[in-house]
Amino acid sequence: DIAMTQSPDSLAVSLGEGATINCKSSQSILFNSNNKNYLAWYQQKPGQPPKLLIYWASIRESGVPDRFSGSGSGTDFTLSISSLQAEDVAVYYCQQYYDTPYTFGQGTKLEIK
């Protein structure tokens, strides 16, 4: 199985400041034939299901604010939030869909400082 490890486990950021969450896979999730990284980011607010933010490591889902961005390739990935808003308080998960079992990171809890 491909293990996904996020860092940090929790993060407190002031409103308007930037936030960065890292995700590392235990093996490359870059598919060479199409040069795509099989990595997604989800946001989960309390009592709600996860919401897709980013897929193919860097493509923003429709309707997701452009303050969210994804980067990275191979085994190392980053979710960045450029200017934290109150509504961004949530747990963020990375997921690899390169191979089954699809695996998620343990989650990063983002709070307001």
Nearest to 40 by CA among 88, 77, 83: 77
Binding to another protein, residues 22-41 (CB under 8 A)? 38, 40
Is 111 a binding residue for another protein by CB under 8 A? The answer is: no
Binding to another protein, residues 64-103 (CB under 8 A)? 93, 95, 97-103
Is 55 a binding residue for another protein by CB under 8 A? The answer is: yes
What CA–CA distance (Å, rounded) separates 104 from 89?
Answer: 19
Three-class secondary structure assignment of 30-62? EECCCCEECEEEEEECCCCCCEEEEECCCEECC
Residue of 35, 46, 49, 86 that binds another protein (CB under 8 A): 49
Point out which residues bind another protein (CB under 8 A): 38, 40, 42, 44, 48-52, 55-56, 61, 93, 95, 97-107
